Amino acid sequence: MEKVKIVINGKEVEGIKDQSVLEVAREHGIYIPALCYHPEVPSSGGSCRVCLVEAHQNGWMRLVTSCNYPVRKGLEVKTDTDLVRRIRKGVLELLLARVPDSDVIRDLARKDGIEEPRFFTDEGEDNRYKCIACGLCTQVCEDVVGVNAISMLSRSSDKTPGTPYHKDSQACIGCGACAYACPTSAISMKDTDGIRTIWGREFSMVSCSVCGKPYIPEAQVDWIVKTTHKERSFFERCPDHR
Ligand code: FES
How many angstroms separate the alpha carbon of residue 106 from the centre of ligand 1? 17
pLDDT exceeds 60 at position 99 = yes
Q: Which of 112, 121, 120, 63 is nearest to 89 (CA)?
A: 112
- The finding on whether 135 has its CB within 6 A of some atom of ligand 1 is no
> Residue 128 has what pLDDT?
55
| Sign of the alpha-carbon torsion through 122, 128, 133, 134 | positive
Report which of 228, 62, 235, 238 is spatially closest to residue 145, judged by C-alpha positions. Answer: 228
For ligand 1, what atom is nearest to the CA of residue 134? 2
Looking at per-residue pLDDT, the higher value among 124 and 7 belongs to 7
Q: Quick one: which atom of ligand 1 is closest to the CA of 35?
A: 3
Residue 121 pLDDT > 80: no
User: If you measure from the C-alpha of residue 170 to the centroid of ligand 1, how many angstroms do you get, rounded to a whole number?
Assistant: 31
pLDDT at 98 over 70: yes
Q: Over the stretch 181-233, which tens digit does the pLDDT of each residue have? A: 999 999 999 999 999 999 999 999 999 999 999 999 999 999 999 999 899 99
Which protein residue's CA is at the shortest distance from atom 3 of ligand 1? 34
- Helix 103-111 with 82-98: angle, nearest 10 deg: 150
Q: What per-residue confidence (pLDDT) applies to 157?
A: 76
Ligand 1 atom index nearest CA of 47: 4
Cβ(211)–Cβ(238) under 8 Å? Answer: yes
Rounded-to-integer distance, Cα 44 and Cα 67, Å: 9
Task: Report CA(134)–ligand 1 centroid distance (Å).
Answer: 9
CATH topology of domain 3-80: Ubiquitin-like (UB roll) (3.10.20)
Report pLDDT digits (tens) over 143-166.
999 999 999 998 877 888 999 888
pLDDT at residue 101, rounded to an integer: 83
Cβ atoms of 188 and 234 closer than 8 Å: no
- Cα separation, 34 vs 183, whole angstroms: 9
Cα 56 to Cα 97: distance, rounded to the nearest angstrom: 31
How far does the centroid of ligand 1 lie from the alpha carbon of residue 38, in Å?
9
Q: Is the pLDDT of residue 124 over 80?
A: no
**CA atoms of 153 and 166, how far apart (whole Å):** 9
Ligand 1 centre and the CA of 206: distance in Å? 36
For the entire predicted model, the pTM comes to 0.90
- Reported as a single tens digit per residue, the pLDDT across 56-75 is 999 999 999 999 999 999 99
Provide CATH 3.10.20.740 ranges for the chain.
Answer: 3-80
